[in-house]
Amino acid sequence: MKSDSPAASDSSDEPLDPNWQHLLNRFLDQTLDAEESAEFARRLREDPSALALCGQRIHFDATLQAALGAKDLEWEETRRIRFNPGGTGPLWSIERQQEFHIGRRRRRVRRQLLRASLVALGLLILGAAAYHFHARHRYQLRNGDFEAMDLSQSPNPESLSILYWQESFSTPQARVLELSRATQGELFAKSGRNVVALQPRAFLNQVLVDARGEPLAAHPGTRVHVTGWYHCRNAPQSRLEACLRFVASGYPLAIQYNLAVQSVDLKDGGWHPIHFDLTLPTDLWRKPDIVSGETPHPPGAIDLHGKPVTLSLDFYSESGELLVDDLALTAEEP
């Protein structure tokens, strides 16, 4: 209830004393020194209006603290500046709007939730783009499965035709073999029924293409991974060489440019894993490595950038036989 006492009406009508206002602020902040404390006590004893104002301030501060508690306190200020050089009004005008809020507003919470949703969506899109980028630059090459040649209906368990292979060159020392039937159950393929059998100095080659049938073009830093299994039969001191090359022409005048070569020594007996990592060099300006036949104009160095790449697996041994199965080819572009 509003008081009708003269002190109360005077305290509400008279302007505030700046010195007393300063003392009140220091008192509420608990920063009064000894001299200010004595002055503060004197004013309370001698000035009824000062006492009334002090009570109002203490009540206001207590109410404010109770209202705030652990809630947020938000002060929002908006300024709009207008420049009007050709109008009849003032050249400059500034409009300012202020809002004071206690607690978190629903609108602000909605903005935060929307912002979090947008961030999550952005991270999802970024992750999908990164996955797409990775999947587009590392992909499986389409290599012919040795099971493509069905020998189950043939009286002969072997064939010189290796489907989807030997596209650049072929050799009678390489053949597809239905292993269990050819060895009368002594050996079995690593997977399926068929394997490729290579005699000494024989090879297996394939023009590399992706799943869409596009040839793998030579680019600096392109990597080709070759995995599979081999079984050496009576072939001690033998090795298998993997080579990425560009085949300019086939027999009778074969011209080949080697891009990357890697070889491994083979173990005799039993199935063992094959693993080659072939990386194309930075400099793709190359001279031919293989030229078979006579030509009046020997080929010179050429730029192999963008040329189709062929994989060749060459078996070097003085005796025995090499069985190859379950080959898988993967390309990785920089």
Asked if omega into 252 is within 30° of 0 (cis), the reply is yes
Contact 226, 329 (CB under 8 A): yes
SS3 content of the chain, % helix, strand, coil (to 5): 30, 35, 35
The answer to whether 100 and 94 are in contact (CB under 8 A) is: no
Integer Rg of the chain from CA? 44
| 11/86 Cα distance (integer angstroms) | 50
| Number of neighbouring beta carbons within 10 Å of residue 76 | 11
Q: Is 26 left (phi over 0), alpha (psi -120 to 50) or beta?
A: alpha
* E strand residue ranges, the chain: 73-83, 92-102, 138-140, 158-159, 174-178, 194-198, 203-207, 223-233, 239-249, 254-265, 271-279, 285-286, 290-292, 302-303, 310-316, 321-332
Q: Can you tell me the distance from the alpha carbon of 3 to that of 89, in angstroms, rounded to the nearest whole number?
A: 48
176 C-beta neighbours (distance < 10 Å), count:
23
pLDDT in tens, the chain (334 residues): 444 444 443 444 556 788 888 888 888 888 888 888 888 888 888 888 887 888 888 878 777 776 656 556 676 777 777 777 666 666 667 777 767 666 655 556 566 666 766 666 666 676 666 655 555 466 677 776 787 778 888 888 888 877 777 777 778 888 889 999 999 889 999 888 899 999 999 988 888 888 778 888 999 999 999 999 999 998 888 999 999 999 887 777 788 899 999 999 999 989 999 999 999 999 999 888 888 767 767 788 899 999 999 899 999 999 999 999 999 898 888 7
How many other CB atoms are there within 10 angstroms of residue 68's CB atom? 12
Give the DSSP letter of residue 293.
S
pLDDT at 22: 85
**Residue-level pLDDT at 71:** 59
DSSP structural state of residue 280 = -
Residue 93's nearest CA partner among 103, 81, 105, 78 is 81
CA distances from 7 to 47, 49, 296 (A): 9, 6, 125
The per-residue pLDDT for 232 is: 93
pLDDT at site 154? 83
